[in-house]
Amino acid sequence: MTMPVVSDARVQVTLGVDTHAEVHVAVALDQLGRRLGACTVATTPAGARELLCWASQFGPIQQVGCEGTSSWGLGLARFLRAQGLAVLDVNRPSRQTRRRRGKSDPVDAEAAARAVQAGTATTVAKTADGQVEMIRTLRLVRRSALKARTQAANQLQSLLVTAPDGLRGLPLDRLVAAAAQLDPDGRVTTTLGACRLALRSVAARYQQLTAEITALDEQLDRLVATAAPALVALPGVGTDTAAALLIAAGDNPERLRSEAAFAHLCGVAPIPASSGKTTRHRLHRGGNRDANRALWVVAMGRLRWDQQTRAYMARRTAEGKSKPEIIRCIKRYLARELYGVLTAPAGQPATRPADGRARPAPPGCQAS
């Protein structure tokens, strides 16, 4: 640890932290960008207190730039927020920057602090301490259970090649029920007995996973309906879709500066790609892809039943736009509409179109 020689109350400290599983590395800069020192602490509550005490000796801490605030740095970010400090989420340096400046923990920590001072890191870190974090955790487990159940169903079907003839051709639900009741006849001594035991084992696994998924669905339905009742009340927005959008916004959606920032987060904001006399936009392939998929689900649903959306599709098709381009425009508008719902204060309706229905993308929306 590098300790300061002189403490000056006039110094305003910007702290950058590179987080890891075992240790956190921090670098302190003053308001002029001069490096004050570096510190390495353990990823424990005592380490977080030590880090805060070390940085405070230089002067008052103005802001903190932290890598990995949703993973290794989550505990540290929570502690620093509890002390009243502003914690900004910083992306790791690009490969080009690393090739030019090298790669080490202090270098990354200093880069995080300089990104905050330069204004290139402006995203407030997620608090991850409320219902949305609960939804994220349960949804993550549910997704793995769904994947395992699909694998069990596929394995059950493959075992039918050598299974008794009476099980072939049955629908999946009936196949699982029948296979779960098979008797392997005690000690396995034949290939048929081994097949019976395998089928019963996989079927029992499928039933257990189904029960687990059902229990998780009940909890997710309750949590999502409590966290965002206005969101799930919108046409075309179900529990899974609402959960994906809530997770993208976080427990503190007010951290998103505008609906354009939310659209960028979801990967539906067209990226300017103009040069000279050519004015165009290109597809944004970044952002939260799960939130992007959720907006696609809502857009496709409204294309099926919403007359205004269908009329918009017909009009833009007549203008020469392709279906993917039109869907991108609709997704951009949906991001604007849903942002208002996500950030509306509790108990107050979000700002929506006068007729309460979804209007497709405004004239200014570009697609490519």
* Whether pLDDT at 354 is above 90: no
pLDDT band at 112 (very low <50, low <70, confident <90, very high): very high
Q: What is the DSSP string of 25-82?
A: EEEEE-TTS-EEEEEEEESSHHHHHHHHHHHHTTS-EEEEEEE-TTTTTHHHHHHHHH
pLDDT band at 359 (very low <50, low <70, confident <90, very high): very low
* Whether pLDDT at 315 is above 90: yes
pTM of the full structure? 0.83
pLDDT for res 166: 67
pLDDT for res 189: 77
User: What is the per-residue pLDDT across 33-48, written as a single tens digit (0 to 9) for each?
Assistant: 999 999 999 999 999 9
pLDDT for res 185: 67
Buried residues in 156-180 as b, exposed as e (16+ CB within 10 A): beebbeebeeebeeeeeeebbebbb
pLDDT band at 100 (very low <50, low <70, confident <90, very high): confident
CATH number of 13-118: 3.30.420.40
The CA distance from 291 to 245, in Å, is 5
User: What is the per-residue pLDDT across 46-91, written as a single tens digit (0 to 9) for each?
Assistant: 999 999 999 999 999 999 999 999 899 999 999 999 999 999 999 8
**Average pLDDT taken over every residue of the chain:** 87
User: What is the per-residue pLDDT across 190-249, written as a single tens digit (0 to 9) for each?
Assistant: 878 888 889 999 999 999 999 999 999 999 999 999 999 999 999 899 999 999 999 999
pLDDT for res 164: 67
214: part of which helix (H) or strand (E)? Answer: helix 191-227
Burial class (CB in 10 A: 0-12, 13-18, 19+), 57: middle
pLDDT for res 7: 52
The CA distance from 212 to 45, in Å, is 34
Give residue 360's Cα distance to chain centre: 25
% of the chain surpassing 70 pLDDT: 89
* Whether pLDDT at 283 is above 70: yes
pLDDT for res 347: 55
Rounded to 10 deg, the angle between the 323-343 and 289-305 helix axes is: 110
* Whether pLDDT at 10 is above 90: no
- CB contact at 8 A, 79 and 127: no
- Pairwise pLDDT comparison (145 vs 195), residue with the higher score: 145
- Pairwise pLDDT comparison (100 vs 230), residue with the higher score: 230
* Whether pLDDT at 139 is above 90: yes
pLDDT for res 264: 94
